[in-house]
Structure 1
Amino acid sequence: MPNGFWVKEIPIEGFNNVSQLSFSSDDKALGIASVDEVSVLSLEPDELIKHGCKWAHDYLKNKPKEESDRTVCDDIK
């Protein structure tokens, strides 16, 4: 536990060798720097929901645990 903080390494999909993370001053974006690129990811709730629905699309359409889950993202554009 360095400096009294709990530290856990987590993989960030699409990024290799992340060297730095930084939040924007308004906490609405996260900057990620890796060995080969720099990206800015939106932390706006609407954008996170869109991204999550896009990521889960195939699962929701084909293998949801509940039938009602199939349509949970239908209104998200």
Structure 2
Amino acid sequence: MKDLEFEQKRSLTRLEAADQLAALADALRHGGRAELQLGPGKLSVHIPDELLSEVEVEVGDDQIELEIELKWSTARSDEAKA
């Protein structure tokens, strides 16, 4: 069972999408605790140094879907080594 799940679907301009990705990239670059603006609210998460990533592209008759998924453990690093 998931402790928390958040999903947001909305229309964006190309520039809004770029701003959203740039903010995410900045949070990833600096690591530690990051605040991401998600619509009217903010999500605060701890981003570790090591992540798992998955990129998926689906091309259909009338659209292209690009999914970028990032995963990481929520266990503390000293607990993960034990």
In terms of fraction of residues, the more helix-rich structure is 1
Q: Looking at CA atoms only, which structure, 1 or 2, has the larger radius of gyration?
A: 1
TM-score w.r.t. the length of structure 2 is 0.28
TM-score w.r.t. the length of structure 1 is 0.29
In terms of fraction of residues, the more strand-rich structure is 2
